[in-house]
Chain A
Amino acid sequence: MKAITANALQDGAVVYLGDDDQWTPHLSSAARFEDGDAKDVLAAACSRIEEITEAYLISVDDSGAIIGRETIRETIRKGGPTVRLDLGLQAESCG
């Protein structure tokens, strides 16, 4: 399955397209699409140029976990730099 990710235009933060069609920083709230449908949804997302930039598809499994050859990259994007655990979303979640 696929999810759609991008960087928010205003601050560059990593976001995902959510079930409510809004952008969310949490991959866990991201909408999942069948591989066949994903392209059209992505095209629509890309046109939202006042909100985001550089939208693309990532591979996720049924539970929404990142899979595939970009796993390390997408995991780092999701959480923050592995060398600064005090920064990025990871800083909030591990409290």
Chain B
Amino acid sequence: MYRYDEFDATMVAERAAQFRGQVARRLSGELSEDEFKPLRLMNGLYLQLHAYMLRVAIPYGTFSSRQMRRLAHAARKYDKGYGHFTTRQNIQYNWPALVDVPDLLDDLAEVEMHAIQTSGNCIRNVTSDQYAGAAADEVEDPRPWCEIIRQWSTFHPEFSFLPRKFKIAVTASDNDRAAVRVHDIGLRLHKNEAGETGFEVIVGGGLGRTPYVGHTIRDFLPKEHLLSYLEAVLRVYNLEGRRDNMYKARIKILVNAEGADHFREMVEEEWAQVNQPGIDLPREEVDRIHDYFEAPAFETLPANSTTLEERRATNREFARWLRVNTVAHKAPGYAIVNISLKPIGGIPGDISDTQMEAVADLAEQFSFDEIRATHEQNLVLPHIRKDDLYGVWAALKAAGLATANIGLVSDIIACPGLDYCTLANTRSIPIAQRISERLADLDEQEALGELKVKISGCINACGHHHVGHIGILGVDKKGEEFYQVTLGGSAAEDASIGEIVGRGLSSGDVVDAVEKLVEFYKKERKDGERFLDVYRRLGADPFKEALYEAA
């Protein structure tokens, strides 16, 4: 894992000290809220309905048990005993007092954590595949490149006040688990015919008010040119992006206004002019960063574990969890374990302090001290020996963390919505809870297969509803909560934006609606077809009919 060098440590400590001074000046009234707000936002501190909210970065989703324990400590000491994992591999605290935030940030800084790049119009925390460095299907570990981007982008003087926030995601697998096609820039590491690895560069994706799937502006960028090419894209955006209108300021608007081809030309022209050798890292530096991500010392193990197979054969519940929540690892005898933060009827992404500690203990003992946060608001133990899976499962179960629903209908992404968020039209979490309870039966869920439900409480789309197989968007109708359903979205390699199907529904009706859609899918599906496949085959109309018939 990446460890801070002196430079990082100083930077984070200085930033925490600076913010401590700013908080003191705000509390004394020396700073007005108008003066203070941009400063607190630069430090990840928002004001929600009931309290402040602090967003803490987990760069590219990788963290250690020591860091997780510190997050648990912070939840206990400064919050109300829990935290909330978001869709951007961050964790949010919902209740810290402003007066405590400087101490909280100091506590985090001790374990190399901070809230930098979690808000404001800068290049945000880079996100990645939660299975990076472990997945059997990746071409190489994408995280060294994420770290290179992090170092380049943190406090980049030219890109600290962009027209709007800017999000970059990196994947190294054909199975896109990082939603690279709906980011401002998505990067996909892949191999060309010569067997070299390089980046596909995808630009102008995004959700929110005007959702777009990004455009590929380069099929293959040699890795060593990553930073100069990113710099060229950012420069074009910084210069040409619209600062006059917040709703038109994201790069997706620029790319779509110019057309992808013209935008590509603009970038290539800029790239020819930027000082490539001055920006691209020298080979030794690239190697030095790669060294931090050297694979853990995996044991040489047989591909299969007999103890595991015995347990699988005799314990149905464990067998289900293996099928649903574990994934193939690149090292023989190991598996990747997903930890669902979506218990049936629970709050998506929430985790208590004691659960955090349980996960930290397991990671330390069984997973080379590594934990991952996923953009679907779950956690991952990336490197578990197959022999240890049963023990890990039992411990997760004891901690209430063994729900076997990864990728299934109850593995719902939901934004905080009106239960916490000042911008919300409607609540999101209760809808997620009711859908999850309505379709609680895990046999039934597994039989339905992959089905992604995503819920946002307003058009900002923090809950990614546009890319849900079933998306739900909260809309306000004269002070009442209504929900609009979209169908056919996807955030994966087959990315698409969902289509709105008809009028808004009440909170009760929207839960019924999901059930109707599921029933219709079951009736229509052919062998192996997912919900999304059936939708794409049949189109919107029959689904609409099923949804609104005799409603």
- Chain A interface residues toward B at CB < 8 A: 7, 9-14, 49-50, 53-54, 68-73, 76-77, 80-84, 87-88
Contact sample, A vs B, 24 pairs, CB 8 Å cutoff: A9-B98, A10-B97, A10-B98, A10-B99, A11-B51, A11-B52, A11-B99, A12-B52, A12-B98, A13-B50, A14-B50, A49-B29, A69-B478, A70-B479, A71-B479, A72-B426, A72-B427, A73-B49, A73-B424, A81-B419, A81-B420, A83-B347, A83-B427, A84-B347
Q: Which of B47, B433, B476 contacts A83 (CB 8 A)?
A: B433
B27 within 8 Å of A (CB atoms):
yes
Q: Which of B425-461 contact A (CB under 8 A)?
A: 426-427, 429-430, 433
| Contact-residue bracket for chain B | 20 to 34
| B31 (CB) vs chain A CBs: closest residue | A49
B28 touching A50, Cβ below 8 Å: yes
Over the window 9-31 of chain B, the binary record of Cβ atoms lying under 8 Å from chain A Cβ atoms (1 yes, 0 no) is 00000000000000000111100
B418 touching A72, Cβ below 8 Å: yes
Which residues of the other chain, A, contact B476 by a CB distance below 8 angstroms? 69
Given A82-B419, A83-B429: 20 more A-B contacts, CB < 8 Å: A9-B26, A12-B51, A13-B50, A49-B33, A50-B27, A53-B33, A54-B33, A54-B47, A69-B478, A71-B479, A72-B426, A72-B481, A77-B49, A77-B50, A81-B429, A83-B347, A83-B430, A84-B347, A87-B80, A87-B95
B304 within 8 Å of A (CB atoms):
no
CB of B373, distance to nearest CB on chain A (Å): 21
- Chain B interface residues toward A at CB < 8 A: 26-29, 32-33, 47-52, 80, 95, 97-99, 347, 418-420, 424, 426-427, 429-430, 433, 476, 478-481
B479 touching A9, Cβ below 8 Å: no
A82 touching B99, Cβ below 8 Å: no
| B99 (CB) vs chain A CBs: closest residue | A10
Given known A10-B98, A11-B99, A12-B52, contact A83–B419 (CB-CB < 8 A): yes
In whole angstroms, how far apart are the Cα atoms of A32 and B33 in the complex?
25
B33 touching A11, Cβ below 8 Å: no
Which residues of the other chain, A, contact B479 by a CB distance below 8 angstroms? 68-72
Closest 6 CB pairs of A and B: A69-B479, A11-B97, A50-B29, A12-B51, A81-B419, A12-B52
In whole angstroms, how far apart are the Cα atoms of A69 and B476 in the complex?
9
B49 touching A76, Cβ below 8 Å: yes
| B97 (CB) vs chain A CBs: closest residue | A11
Which residues of the other chain, B, contact A82 by a CB distance below 8 angstroms? 419, 427, 430
In whole angstroms, how far apart are the Cα atoms of A76 and B95 in the complex?
15
Report which residue of A9, A53, A83, A87 has the largest number of chain B beta carbons within 10 angstroms of its beta carbon: A83
Which residues of the other chain, A, contact B51 by a CB distance below 8 angstroms? 7, 11-13
In whole angstroms, how far apart are the Cα atoms of A50 and B98 in the complex?
12
| B476 (CB) vs chain A CBs: closest residue | A69
| A81 (CB) vs chain B CBs: closest residue | B419
> Dominant SS at the A interface?
loop
Report which residue of B27, B50, B99, B427 has the largest number of chain A beta carbons within 10 angstroms of its beta carbon: B50
Which residues of the other chain, A, contact B49 by a CB distance below 8 angstroms? 14, 73, 76-77
| A82 (CB) vs chain B CBs: closest residue | B419
CB of A7, distance to nearest CB on chain B (Å): 6
In whole angstroms, how far apart are the Cα atoms of A75 and B333 in the complex?
54
B27 touching A9, Cβ below 8 Å: yes
In whole angstroms, how far apart are the Cα atoms of A77 and B420 in the complex?
8
Which residues of the other chain, B, contact A11 by a CB distance below 8 angstroms? 51-52, 97-99
| B51 (CB) vs chain A CBs: closest residue | A12
Which residues of the other chain, A, contact B481 by a CB distance below 8 angstroms? 72
| B46 (CB) vs chain A CBs: closest residue | A12
Which residues of the other chain, A, contact B480 by a CB distance below 8 angstroms? 72
In whole angstroms, how far apart are the Cα atoms of A71 and B37 in the complex?
27
A88 touching B50, Cβ below 8 Å: yes
CB of B102, distance to nearest CB on chain A (Å): 13
Which residues of the other chain, A, contact B80 by a CB distance below 8 angstroms? 87
B33 touching A10, Cβ below 8 Å: no
CB of B422, distance to nearest CB on chain A (Å): 8
A12 touching B47, Cβ below 8 Å: yes
| A68 (CB) vs chain B CBs: closest residue | B479
| A73 (CB) vs chain B CBs: closest residue | B418
Which residues of the other chain, A, contact B29 by a CB distance below 8 angstroms? 49-50
In whole angstroms, how far apart are the Cα atoms of A49 and B47 in the complex?
15
In whole angstroms, how far apart are the Cα atoms of A11 and B51 in the complex?
6
CB of B99, distance to nearest CB on chain A (Å): 5
In whole angstroms, how far apart are the Cα atoms of A48 and B309 in the complex?
67
| B428 (CB) vs chain A CBs: closest residue | A83
In whole angstroms, how far apart are the Cα atoms of A81 and B430 in the complex?
10
Which residues of the other chain, A, contact B419 by a CB distance below 8 angstroms? 76, 81-84
In whole angstroms, how far apart are the Cα atoms of A84 and B27 in the complex?
29
CB of B390, distance to nearest CB on chain A (Å): 33
